[in-house]
């Protein structure tokens, strides 16, 4: 995200480069919670930064609901409480896109556990 500050492109040009509207770029700059995992991956690719972490994270996130469903109910609920997100929400985000805010919230809850 620090590359955005150094970027010589205006919001419209950057939006075109990463497949978003200029308005979406403006909104995300002013409200960083609006960034999505796919946005971060496209930004990294645009700035020729490695996208490996985004790809691996996305893969794990897509496997997580099935893994949780295989757990005994009590263990699944305990894990959902630790992650601060239910399995249904995981599936929903996997079908739409992961808000960075939710990923940070999950990271913080696991870090503090």
Same domain, 63 and 105: yes
Is the pTM higher than 0.75?
A: yes
State how far the Cα of 36 lies from the Cα of 26, in Å rounded to an integer.
14
Q: What is the percent of the chain with per-residue pLDDT over 90, rounded to a whole number?
A: 78
How many independent structural domains does the chain possess?
2
Q: What is the pLDDT of residue 29?
A: 87
Q: Are residues 67 and 34 in the same domain?
A: no
Tokens 């492109």, located at residue: 9
Q: Are residues 61 and 15 in the same domain?
A: no
Q: Where is pLDDT greater, at 99 or 4?
A: 99
Q: Could you list the residue range(s) of the whole structural domain that residue 20 is in?
A: 2-50
CA distances from 40 to 53, 72, 76, 106 (A): 10, 34, 29, 17
| Whether residue 42 is found in the same domain as residue 60 | no
Q: Are residues 58 and 102 in the same domain?
A: yes
Residue 10 shares a structural domain with residue 36: yes
pLDDT in tens, 34-75: 999 999 999 999 989 999 999 999 999 999 999 999 999 999
């Amino acid at each position: 995200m620090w590359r955005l500050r150094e970027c010589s492109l205006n919001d419209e040009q950057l939006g075109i480069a990463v497949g978003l509207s200029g308005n979406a770029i403006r909104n995300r700059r002013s409200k960083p919670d609006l960034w999505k995992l796919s946005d971060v991956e496209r930004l990294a690719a645009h700035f020729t930064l490695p996208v490996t972490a985004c790809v691996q994270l996305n893969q794990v996130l897509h496997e997580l609901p099935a893994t949780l469903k295989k757990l005994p109910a009590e263990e699944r609920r305990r894990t959902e409480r630790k992650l601060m997100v239910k399995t249904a929400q995981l599936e929903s985000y996997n079908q739409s896109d992961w808000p960075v805010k939710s990923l940070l919230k999950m990271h913080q809850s696991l870090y503090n556990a």
